[in-house]
Amino acid sequence: PATTIETRSGDTAVGGVPLAELADRFGTPVYVLDEAEVRDRCRTYRDAFPDAEVLYAAKAFLCRAMIHWMDQEGLGLDVCSAGELELAVTAGFPADRIVLHGNAKSPRDLETALRLGVGRIVIDSPAEIARLAAAVGPRGHQEVMVRVVPGISAGGHEKIRTGTEDQKFGLSISDGYAQHAIARILDQPQLRLTGLHCHLGSQITSVKPYVAAVRRMVGLMSRLRDQYGLVLPELDLGGGHGIAYRPVERSLDLTALARKIRAELGAACAAAGLPVPRLIIEPGRAIAGPAGIALYRVLAVKRTGLRTYVAVDGGMSDNPRPALYGVRYAPRLVGRRTTDDRTRVTVVGRHCEAGDVLAADVELPADVRPGDLLAVPVAGAYHLSMASGYNLVGRPPVVAVRDGRARLLVRRESLDDIRSRDVGV
């Protein structure tokens, strides 16, 4: 996060553009994406995992510019809907470098994937196997993976833990559903199983669960080899790599992660007498998150007997994460030279409910006042991709900055946009 807001001649800037200038030009709230930071993060992954296929998890944030950047940086894409898939392919992204996920793929998801020639489809339930085989047709052919539940608990919040038993994603190893599904896939000549997939959860800051996952997955691969003579060439360990939202937090060490995964995979495969599969990873948050900044205007400062509320012109409609997961951010005042005195405040949004809190109990300069600009760093992932239309305030625009220049990527949602969908009487 420290790299995304640097101080330049007294102004807080990103990508060489002062945030105050961006607020003047594009209005607030506005989301700013540092293109160099996104690209650097892609390169960090390519360097740390030179032999792996790195797929950007589109759900973190997707727009056409992101799609181009991922293509240029040599990443693939992980998508989980016909919408993400079709946006990517129509923006020129090669379909064969895209993997389709989803625990409940709609007929349109599958039809779009087959029509556009998606690289692999990750099977998440037994019923999907026959559906997919039928959709592919008797002479067709589709590469698939199977999403496996490894039974490992990891991740920043209960709601984003997906490696544990007893949840909606994937097929469990321990109760045999994964093995059963694999046997059924092998019976379908149209489906070619290329590997196993697991995704432990999100905002994971330790390498240990990944090492445990490698062990568990190679264990299953070894049993599949014994039972069916099957040697799978790919292993997808999903995403989930945690990042620091505040200076006091630590991000997952990607170099250590790569080293530990490689070592464990090598050792486990050697012990099982299996060739080392090609590794696939699917980071979303760690690529987009730290490259984004949410920029708000302070609309009201209210001192009560209990606390000071700083209310801004956005809130839970553009960032539902504090309300959903109780996560914490470190907002900063932008630009204005202020007193050294600091005061504890609670930053709230403009929406009509008390839970619309963006940052509880944070320190800001004591003279914070309406008209000030407030920047929330590390806002690039799971903010706008989860934005809602609540209170019809309109979704904020997205601006890219690079080498001292700014350009609009996604425009602000207007009342006309909202009206145009409202076609009844």
Residues making up the annotated binding site for pyridoxal 5'-phosphate are 240, 282-285, 382
Q: Active-site residue 269, yes or no?
A: no
Least distance in angstroms from the C-beta of 308 to ligand LLP = 27
Least distance in angstroms from the C-beta of 417 to ligand LLP = 24
Least distance in angstroms from the C-beta of 307 to ligand LLP = 26
Q: Which residues lie near ligand LLP (CB under 6 A)?
A: 57, 59-60, 78, 101, 160, 199, 202-203, 238-241, 282-286, 321, 325, 382, 386
**Using the 8-state DSSP alphabet, how is residue 381 labeled?**
S
Least distance in angstroms from the C-beta of 327 to ligand LLP = 7
Q: Are 145 and 166 in contact (CB under 8 A)?
A: no
- CA 180 → CA 57, 171, 228, 237, distances in Å? 28, 9, 12, 21
Q: Return the SS3 of 187.
A: coil
- Can you say which residues are annotated as belonging to the binding site for substrate? 285, 321, 325, 353, 382
Least distance in angstroms from the C-beta of 239 to ligand LLP = 3
The residues that bridge with 18 in the sheet, in sequence order, are 13
The sign of the CA dihedral 162, 168, 173, 174 is: positive
Nearer to ligand LLP, 121 or 160 (CB): 160
Can you list the positions of beta strands (E) in 20-128?
30-34, 53-57, 76-79, 98-100, 120-123
Nearer to ligand LLP, 277 or 322 (CB): 322
Nearer to ligand LLP, 223 or 278 (CB): 278
Q: Are 67 and 87 in contact (CB under 8 A)?
A: yes
Q: Per the residue annotation, which of 42, 198, 269, 352 is the catalytic one?
A: 352
d(CA 366, CA 373): 14
d(CA 122, CA 240): 17
Q: Which of 190, 182, 189, 280 is nearest to 231 (CA)?
A: 182
Nearer to ligand LLP, 52 or 57 (CB): 57
Nearer to ligand LLP, 242 or 397 (CB): 242
- Can you say which residues are annotated as belonging to the binding site? 240, 282-285, 321, 325, 353, 382
Q: Which residues have a catalytic role annotated?
A: 352
